[in-house]
C-alpha cells in the first residue's frame, strides 16, 4: 500500500476519535473559513454517507464547526464548538442527506454573512486527516489545503492563464499543482494553483491588476 504522507500511518494530532470523521472534518471547516475570509453568521452543513450516519458519535459536527471558528485539529475547544458558535451568534444548521456521493465522507457547507454574501464548498475527508475540496461555488476543483495556494477567478479569455503563470515565475514561485475549471466556454473560470513557497501580498496585487482577473483568494498556509 502506498501512503500519501506520514499522517496516513500515524494520524494527525487531533481532538476526537477519528482522523477521517473528526480531524478531516475540522480541516474542511477551517479551509471553508479561510476561503470565506471571515467568520460566518450562518452555516448550513449537509452531511453525506458515513458523515451523515456517525456525525454525532464521532464528533464530526463539533469538528466542522470548530474549523469554521478557525480552530486547528488539536484545539481543546473543539468539543465545545457548538456552544462557542452559539455564544458568538453564529446560526448552525445540520442536514442529513440520503444521496449517494462519490466519497462516503462528504460534506457540503453553505456560509453566509450579514450582507447576504454566500459561499458554498464541498469537501471530502480522504483518510489520515487529509482532505480535498472538490467544489467551490459550483466550480469543480481539487484543493488539498496542505500547500500555499491561490484561487484566481477570471474571465475565460486567451492569455489569462499564462499571464498569471508568468507572475508566479517572476517571483520564483514553483507550481506544484494547477488546474482550471469553467462553467461554460467564454464565461467565468477559476484557476487553482498550489505552490511550494509562501505567496506574498505583492504577488496577489500584480495578479489582480491583470486583464480579465475578477478575484483572487489566497489560502493561508
Structural domain boundaries in the chain: 7-143, 149-219
pTM of the model: 0.80
With a cut of 50, say whether residue 93 has pLDDT above it.
yes
Residue 169 DSSP SS3: helix
Average pLDDT of span 196-208? 94
Architecture per CATH, 149-219: 2-Layer Sandwich (3.30)
pLDDT value for 195 = 95
pLDDT > 90 fraction of the chain, expressed in percent and rounded = 62
What is the C-alpha to C-alpha distance for residues 208 and 216, in angstroms, rounded to an integer? 7
pLDDT value for 53 = 85
Tell how strand 118-127 and strand 130-136 pair up. Answer: antiparallel
pLDDT value for 162 = 96
Confidence of residue 20 (pLDDT cuts 50, 70, 90): low
Which residues does 45 contact at the CB level (< 8 Å), separation at least 6?
Answer: 61, 64, 65, 92, 93, 94, 95, 107, 108, 109, 110
User: What CATH class does 7-143 carry?
Assistant: alpha beta
Amino acid at each position: 500500500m502506498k501512503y500519501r504522507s506520514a499522517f496516513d500511518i500515524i494520524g494527525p494530532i487531533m481532538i476526537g476519535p477519528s482522523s477521517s470523521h473528526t480531524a478531516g472534518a475540522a480541516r474542511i471547516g477551517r479551509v471553508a473559513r479561510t476561503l470565506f475570509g471571515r467568520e460566518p453568521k450562518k452555516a448550513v452543513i449537509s452531511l453525506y454517507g458515513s458523515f451523515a450516519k456517525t456525525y454525532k458519535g464521532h464528533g464530526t459536527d463539533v469538528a466542522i464547526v470548530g474549523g469554521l471558528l478557525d480552530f486547528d485539529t488539536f484545539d481543546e475547544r473543539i468539543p465545545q464548538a457548538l456552544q462557542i458558535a452559539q455564544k458568538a451568534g453564529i446560526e448552525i444548521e445540520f442536514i442529513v442527506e440520503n444521496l449517494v456521493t462519490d466519497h462516503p465522507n462528504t460534506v457540503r457547507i453553505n456560509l453566509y454573512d450579514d450582507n447576504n454574501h454566500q459561499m458554498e464548498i464541498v469537501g471530502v475527508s480522504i483518510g489520515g486527516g487529509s482532505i480535498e475540496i472538490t467544489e467551490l461555488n459550483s466550480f469543480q476543483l481539487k484543493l488539498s489545503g496542505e500547500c500555499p495556494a491561490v484561487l484566481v477567478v477570471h474571465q475565460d479569455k486567451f492569455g489569462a492563464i499564462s499571464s498569471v503563470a508568468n507572475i508566479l515565475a517572476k517571483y520564483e514561485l514553483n507550481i506544484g499543482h494547477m488546474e482550471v475549471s469553467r462553467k461554460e466556454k467564454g464565461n467565468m473560470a477559476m484557476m487553482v494553483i498550489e505552490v511550494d513557497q509562501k505567496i506574498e501580498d505583492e504577488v496577489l496585487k500584480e495578479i489582480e491588476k491583470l486583464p480579465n482577473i475578477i478575484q483572487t483568494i489566497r489560502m493561508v498556509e
